[in-house]
Amino acid sequence: MLFLQQAPRYLFFTGKGGVGKTSLACATALHLAEQGRQVLLVSTDPASNIGQVFGLGIGNRITPIPAVPGLAALEIDPQAAAGAYRDRIVGPVRGVLPDTVVQSIEEQLSGACTTEIAAFDEFTALLTDVALTQQFEHIVFDTAPTGHTIRLLQLPGAWSGFLAAGKGDASCLGPLAGLEKQREQYQAAVAALADSRHTRLILVARAQPATLREVARTQAELAAVGLTQQHLVINGVLPQAEAAADPLAQAIHAREQVALQHIPAELAGLPRDTVALKPFNLVGLDALRQLLTDARVADAGMPADPIAGDLVAQPLLALVDAIAADGHGLVMLMGKGGVGKTTMAAALAAELARRGLPVHLTTSDPAAHLAETLAGSLANLSVSRIDPQEVTRLYRQQVLQTRGAQLDAAGRALLEEDLRSPCTEEIAVFQAFSRVIREAGKKFVVMDTAPTGHTLLLLDATGAYHREVARQMGDKGLHFTTPMMQLQDPRQTKVLIVTLAETTPVLEAAHLQDDLRRAGIEPWAWIINNSVAASHAQSPLLRRRAANELEQIAAVRSRYAGRLAVVPLLSDEPVGIDKLQQLIRLSRRED
């Protein structure tokens, strides 16, 4: 593997949920340790499962892996880090400042920006505290800091005074206000990340157009903030030998090869490795040792149909019937990038429109390609896209014309700098989102949301807006409805969580469900997409993967989902209105 050659001290694996970055990070750490190196494996993923991979509890402490001399692991808990970070900022002023001021500070620190920054705060010590990590020759990170986090830390040093003076239109200023005392440590950490002699970033993707586009955006975003020492790993590629006697495997192999032939230009010049799809779950040392090898795994003699009688779920059609019965409402598709939210949103919208119901299909995902997925038009169906760049431009313009008009030159310059922060985009998208969902009182609004982290920021903004309106309107005794109230009302909003029947996507979807419940939003249904277990594959490798999916499907059905649809992996991409409507009827049902 090219990314393992002359490995530097720091290796960062980044990619969307379900692409296999945890497995690759664990396999890399094991490989280096078995070469006699001292290695620390670190996860900053809130859904970390590296303890499960190695079969022991790890948590937020450096823990030796007994079965692998030289290897230790650490799981940073972003939520716990965010709580400690908030306490450090709010604690000294609690009881000193008025309660309303303390409440305002806490609200500014309640969002996903704080969680992201606090996690970075935790692992900067691993990059800058020599005494803490000096015994390790390599530190392998599962989940790198995003370009979003690094851009926040590169903003000017005058936020605190600007915020205290009440001049700024708050975006990320609250979470950032507590960073000033540690600025030198953060600058050293960012410098270490950008130093190609010591740091290598491994971008992990699947051979699928959507995930390749997403990792191309990540590549450009991180390169823009100085992280240029990048490698690309295409994970989970179906071996050509599996396509010999299985039409489904043939189609998958052909699709993957086309995706690789049309790889985005940003990725084409990067050093690239390809890792073959494995038939087994990547848990345990033996499985990890086989991940980075090209040796073909022998067929274990799976039966022709390992799933008979085990897959019980409502078909997607049953979910559409229940949604259509309401006549109107907001339908939100949520989940990590790469799980098929755009396809599911387009299929649901097309089926509702086919029934003569008015439907507005929209997206807040910058990577979504609704028009390409629909590949046609349909009566009763309108399609739109919330363009993050355009709505952000209009939002900046509005703030500068209102708040900025009252500032002197220095204050206006600081406001303009703050408005270039990434959180500004989230606020602008939220405003556009609020306008769209008002339509759901008269028609169906089907929304393909952005990847989960961005969506939760959006919901944070919705909650803050709701609380402010409630304070203002409640004092006057007036009736009001905020976007958050609409999201919390199951008669008006149905949230469908989309995932894959794999360990990490299911864990991430479960965490998303917990986050939604904390916001008072109860998910209405789950959709397991691209299920091999529902496709009756004949390839030995795919049959074994189908059997492995059953545990995840059973977990979703018994522990997480009140309603569940399982959508099969298809030979043909579900592109075009006819194929999308066929997809609605393809979910397997055994009642």
Q: What is the pLDDT of residues 357-380, one digit of tens each?
A: 999 999 876 655 777 788 788 899
Measured CA distances, 233 to 2, 284, 523 (Å) = 9, 21, 34
Long-range interactions of 391-394: CB distance < 8 A, separation 24+: 391/428, 391/429, 391/431, 391/432, 392/424, 392/425, 392/428, 392/429, 394/428
Long-range interactions of 385-394: CB distance < 8 A, separation 24+: 386/362, 386/429, 386/432, 386/433, 386/436, 388/364, 388/425, 388/428, 388/429, 391/428, 391/429, 391/431, 391/432, 392/424, 392/425, 392/428, 392/429, 394/428
97: CB partners within 8 A, 6+ apart: none
Q: Give the model confidence (pLDDT) of 214-230 as tens digits.
A: 889 888 888 887 788 89
542: CB partners within 8 A, 6+ apart: 242, 246, 248, 249, 279, 532, 535
Residue 231 has pLDDT above 70, yes or no: yes
Read off the DSSP letter of residue 157.
T
Structure tokens of 169?
């239109």
Distance between CA atoms of residues 495 and 516, nearest Å: 9
Percentage of the chain with pLDDT > 70? 78
Distance between CA atoms of residues 295 and 127, nearest Å: 36
Measured CA distances, 91 to 83, 88, 179 (Å) = 11, 6, 15
Q: Which of residues 484 and 343 earns the better pLDDT score?
A: 343
* Average pLDDT along the chain: 80
> What mean pLDDT comes out for the span 192-221?
87
pLDDT, position 272: 96
Q: What is the signed CA dihedral for 351, 354, 357, 359, rounded to 10 degrees?
A: 60
Measured CA distances, 498 to 12, 24, 46, 316, 489 (Å) = 27, 24, 18, 12, 20
Catalytic residues: 18, 20-23, 45, 504
Q: Give the model confidence (pLDDT) of 576-587 as tens digits.
A: 888 898 888 775
Q: Which of 572, 332, 325 is nearest to 455 (CA)?
A: 332
The sign of the torsion formed by the CA atoms of 178, 182, 185, 187 equals: positive
DSSP string, 486-540: HHH-TTTEEEEEEE-SSHHHHHHHHHHHHHHHHTT----EEEEEEESTTTT--SH
Supply the pTM of this predicted model.
0.77
CA 286 to chain centre: 29
